[in-house]
A and B are shown apart, each in its own frame.
Chain A
Amino acid sequence: MLSADIPALLDTLQDSYFEADPRGIITFANRAFFENLGLPGRESVLGRNFRRFTDGRSIRKLYQKFGELYRTGEPVERFSYFFKPIKGEARPGELSISPILQDGRVIGSRGLIRDISAHVQAEQDLRRAKNAAEAQAAKLRSVNRVAATVGQSLDLSVVLQSICVELTSIFPVRNAGVALITPDRQSMEVVAFHTPFVEERSALGLILPFEGNPSSQEVIRTRKPLVLQDAQNDPRSETLSDISRARGTRAIMIVPILSRGEAIGTVGMPAVDPFYEFSDVEVELAETIAGQIAAAVDNARLHTQTESALTVAEHDLEIGRQIQAGFFPERLPDVPGWEFAAEFTAARQVAGDFYDAFAIPNTDLIGFVVGDVCDKGVGAALFMVLFRSLIRAFSVDLESVERPRESLLRLIRSTNDFIAEYHGRSNMFATLFVGLLEPKSGVLHYVNGGHEPPAVVNAEGALVARLDPTGPAVGLFTGTPYRVQSHELAPGEFIVGFTDGTTDARSAAGEPFREERLLECLTNPWTSVHSMIFELSVELKHHIGSEPQFDDITLFAVRRKTSAASPSVHAICRKAMIGVVPEFRAFVESVAQYSGLSGDQTFALKSSADELCTNIVQYGYPDRDDGLLSLSIVVERDVLARIVITDDGVHFPPEEAAVPDLDAPLEERDAGGLGLHIARSQLDRITYSRTQIGTNELVLELDLT
């Protein structure tokens, strides 16, 4: 009796089972059917239309599926369906229906509904959890982005602005604003503001007074976040209530910005949904970000302070440098039969090295000094100024020409005793070489107070003497004894004073320049001390390379010319290659400036020398790379400047060069012969000759009259 058991069997199913006639009237339902609908018994469903227990959104589908069943007489594949319990929400299910057949005709339908709400619920829970996790991760990413922003820029307004943008993407807020306490501590100013809503007005620059604004006061005082659920009516935001009302603000979160335990401002964020309730997690996150805002503000303030302190210091140092530069002689003495040259390069803005050279009033004597104050920087610079001024002041005493040696001795003693007595506590001293030159006789009287011995080189380029110390460094103890020595310079002889910064100059490999190399450079038959110092400086520059200079470098030289009437011959010689052209140009410029020529005259000489040297190295050596190029300059004051360029390349008289057509239109213009044309148009004469030994000699002359 299987069939008699079927209804009982159907009652044991958890899924709802029903049978209905063609109109949809339920003719049978199992227990699960009415129980799942929340109905008390079978009778409450029998005789009622199945449609009544179907949720509105599934009615249409229901007609469609039953239509299909009656039309085809075939079962309909399971489809999703919402059924409607008597109370509560519609529930998701899956419905499968099949026909009840009699003599091949469809006389009704039967269906099975599987309640899948638990399954759907689980899925929804899972999706919600996943969304929550993703949201959390997004927030963390935002926090990281905020942190990165803080680190990236020191421009506070840029940093805070991008933090506000982040805040509006993290929280469901209408806007985010950062307000900092104003310097008078009476109010706060909105310094950054962002809103994703176009219709929202910016609060940037808005001043929020503390007075009558207990909410801000509370946040600042308690250093704790505050969430107002009704900002328009909350007494704690009395003064804000107008603003809040105007802005439609209700729910707002205010978080303190804490820097070293003190509140320096707040972050305010009104919710988009006026009745939104900020969660604890959100408040916590906002506090974290407020911490980063504090870091940004601290960073920027610290940076501004450091910057301005640095700027002030740099500005002061630059003024110091300019003042100190005024303590170096503007021009070296101009004495017939003698030439002076000097080079000074400071390692820092202000220096302890110095040189000086000056004519002693009412005499024909020339005094000069090369000095090195111990230590570096500002302290050394102050003492350099003191030493130099004391020597100049005490040199007035040298006006008594009869006894120059005694006067010189008095000068060094007075300087020493003054420093030792009045500045003894500073423990500052200097090594000084002080010379007193008698130009007529060529005799040099000197005191060497612990300084590097200057070298004396004769006309043939041989080292003839070192002027050793005649006493200790100056300024150590009062009453220190010094001796005066004398040396007579022969015609063509020169003396070079230098400081230890020269011999100690370091290369990239840490190698010092060394005294041997210095002496090697000096011991050449130099025809001018200017050329000698120019070449020595080039050597030093090559040696140091791009390394920061270790110490001040000072060179000072005096040369007795071979005859009193002859002008100095400044010369330079290099391998004939294109790379040396800039050095020739720099040399010509330095000699012209040294000789007191005008800017136009200087430019004419250097530009002409550049053009002609370039032509020689480019065309003079078509198949050789061992050529030599030399250049010498003589400046006869107010008469003539003459440059002689000598090379051992091919014979090439300039008159054979192309002559450019300066009136041709651009398309027909040719650059050939331009260099020579530029030289010709600036000089008075260019003459070329081929010497007997097979060298080319170009003589460039510029009248100075």
Chain B
Amino acid sequence: MQITNQKMNAVVVVSPSGSIDATTAPELGAHIDDLVSHDDVKLVADFASVDYTSSAGLRVLLGAAKQTRAQGGDLRLSSVAPDVMKVLSLSGFTSILKIFDDTDSAVASFA
């Protein structure tokens, strides 16, 4: 799994790529933990290049949202593919996570 960061003002856009499952989720989790430990708590997870996620990926997103919100930030999602959206809505995550059509609007939502 490849993960890139891009800082846009106070917001960090995290862009993972590929499939997020039990084998790759720990890497994404560690990546986000690292950002939060450096006080980057306004995060956008840009899912444009994520073609699949299992509950292991949801667990990471849930943990990240809890952590960032506790510190006055948030984790927001953008550009979610239909297969990933399906898992999000089956798990009731669409009501607890803020999801945007594109990264720009997700970043702008923090302003």
Contacts and interface: CB of A to CB of B under 8 A. Distances in A.
B96 interface: yes
Interface in B15-56: 19, 21-23, 52, 54-56
Interface of B: 19, 21-23, 52, 54-56, 58-59, 62-63, 65-66, 69, 83, 86-87, 90-92, 96-97
Contacts of B91: 660, 662, 674, 677-678
Contacts of A610: 21, 54
A582 B21 contact: yes
A671 B54 CA distance: 12
Contacts of B21: 581-582, 585, 610, 614
Contacts of B97: 666
A667 interface: yes
A666 B22 contact: no
A678 B56 CA distance: 11
Contacts of B54: 607, 610-611, 614, 675, 678
B58 A671 contact: yes
Given A614-B54, A660-B91, A667-B69, 14 more contacts: A579-B23, A581-B23, A582-B19, A607-B52, A607-B87, A610-B54, A663-B92, A666-B62, A666-B65, A666-B69, A671-B63, A677-B55, A678-B54, A678-B90
Interface string A601-629: 00100010011001001100000000000
B86 A603 contact: yes
Interface in A61-107: none
A665 interface: yes
A681 interface: yes
A674 B96 contact: no
A389 B29 CA distance: 53
A662 B92 contact: yes
A578 interface: yes
A677 B62 CA distance: 16
A677 B91 CA distance: 8
10 contacts: A607-B83, A610-B21, A666-B69, A666-B96, A667-B69, A669-B62, A677-B55, A678-B54, A678-B55, A678-B87
Interface string A662-696: 11011101010011011001100000000000000
A671 B59 contact: yes
B56 to A, nearest CB: 7
B66 A666 contact: yes
Most buried by B among A579, A618, A662: A662
Contacts of B65: 666
Given A578-B23, A611-B54, A614-B56, A667 B66 contact: yes
Nearest to B83: A603
A581 B63 CA distance: 23
A610 B22 CA distance: 9
Contact of B96 (A603, A617, A618, A665): A665
Nearest to A661: B92
Task: State the 3 A-B residue pairs at the shortest beta-carbon distance, nearest first.
Answer: A662-B92, A671-B59, A674-B55
